[in-house]
Amino acid sequence: MVAKMPRLSVAAGLMTGIGAAAALADDRTRVALVPGGPHPYFAAWEQVGADAARDFGLGAADYEVPQKWELSMQNQMLESLVTQGCNAFLIFPGDPVGTVAIANELAGTGAPVIALAGCLQDPSDAQFCMGTDTGNSAYIGTQELLKVLPAGARIAHFTGFLVDPNTQLRIDAVARAAAEGGAEVVQVIADIDAPEPAEEKINAYLAANAGEIDGIITTAWVPAVVAANALRRIGD
């Protein structure tokens, strides 16, 4: 399922964009698919773009990834893609507030802009945001965790980049579910949705505190993998 979700989201986003703007209906349309930075989650976007370009008769669907999770780098890439002829944009915001300006600039050229898999802070000139309800997913996941933990459980939360528009939604949702369930979030470790920081911070935390917590909730891709591997190593 995880691998299919980006495919469905992008294909549906392209289809809706085609219906929303007449310019998307012919082979003059060149769509840019631009995430905020490198991450396994976005790996399916390239093939999805190619499939959508074929199925909908688009001129091109260019998947372009900034080298780092830096807003200025994403903005520069988007500006460059305009000069290269891209005239429609699917963007995962590098920052929910900071990306608004470039989204408005792109929309000002007449290009349809859709926020995909993460939303911009309103108001913006993006046509819409398309993504899963990440806060609700984190909330439900925490509720399920608490079902197998003792009353008054102490839990740690490992999550993604703070510039990711979904991260604060997840932090708030986990805290809310914990409070409602009589549990305590004793530690939130964020900005670790990449292998090196995740390995370093999760392993260090567990080495020092594994005996002080009753459970762990992870709400980002890399922390989930790293935490699972770390728990296997220590036998929990």
One domain for residues 118 and 154: no
Cα gap 156→210, rounded to integer Å: 10
Residue 3 has pLDDT above 80, yes or no: no
Question: Whole domain around residue 64: which residue ranges?
Answer: 4-130
CA-based end-to-end distance of the chain: 26
One domain for residues 15 and 87: yes
What is the value of pTM for the model shown?
A: 0.84
Lowest mean pLDDT of 3-7, 28-32, 202-206, name the range. 3-7
Confidence of residue 236 (pLDDT cuts 50, 70, 90): low
Q: Quote the pLDDT of residue 116.
A: 95
Residue after which a domain boundary falls, among 130, 158, 178: 130
Name the domain count of the chain. Answer: 2
One domain for residues 121 and 30: yes
Average pLDDT over residues 11-30: 56
Average pLDDT over residues 118-125: 95
Cα gap 10→201, rounded to integer Å: 33
pLDDT digits (tens, 9 = 90+) for 43-58: 999 999 999 999 999 9
Report the CATH number that the domain containing residue 215 is assigned in CATH.
3.40.50.2300
Residue 94 has pLDDT above 80, yes or no: yes
Q: Quote the pLDDT of residue 5.
A: 40
Residue 121 has pLDDT above 80, yes or no: yes
One domain for residues 82 and 194: no
One domain for residues 8 and 119: yes
Query: How many other CB atoms are there within 10 angstroms of residue 180's CB atom?
Result: 12
Residue 154 has pLDDT above 50, yes or no: yes
Q: Quote the pLDDT of residue 150.
A: 96
Residue after which a domain boundary falls, among 85, 104, 130: 130
Residue after which a domain boundary falls, among 130, 162, 197: 130
Burial class (CB in 10 A: 0-12, 13-18, 19+), 70: middle
Q: Quote the pLDDT of residue 22.
A: 35
> Kind and range of the H or E element at 100?
helix 100-108
Cα gap 62→34, rounded to integer Å: 8
Confidence of residue 23 (pLDDT cuts 50, 70, 90): very low
Q: Where are the beta strands (DSSP E) in the chain?
A: 30-34, 60-63, 88-91, 113-116, 128-130, 154-158, 184-189, 215-218
One domain for residues 11 and 120: yes
Lowest mean pLDDT of 53-57, 106-110, 141-145, 180-184, name the range. 53-57
Using alpha carbons, select from 161, 160, 9 the residue that is nearest to residue 90.
Answer: 9
Q: Quote the pLDDT of residue 12.
A: 55
Confidence of residue 202 (pLDDT cuts 50, 70, 90): very high
Q: Quote the pLDDT of residue 6.
A: 45
Q: Quote the pLDDT of residue 15.
A: 52
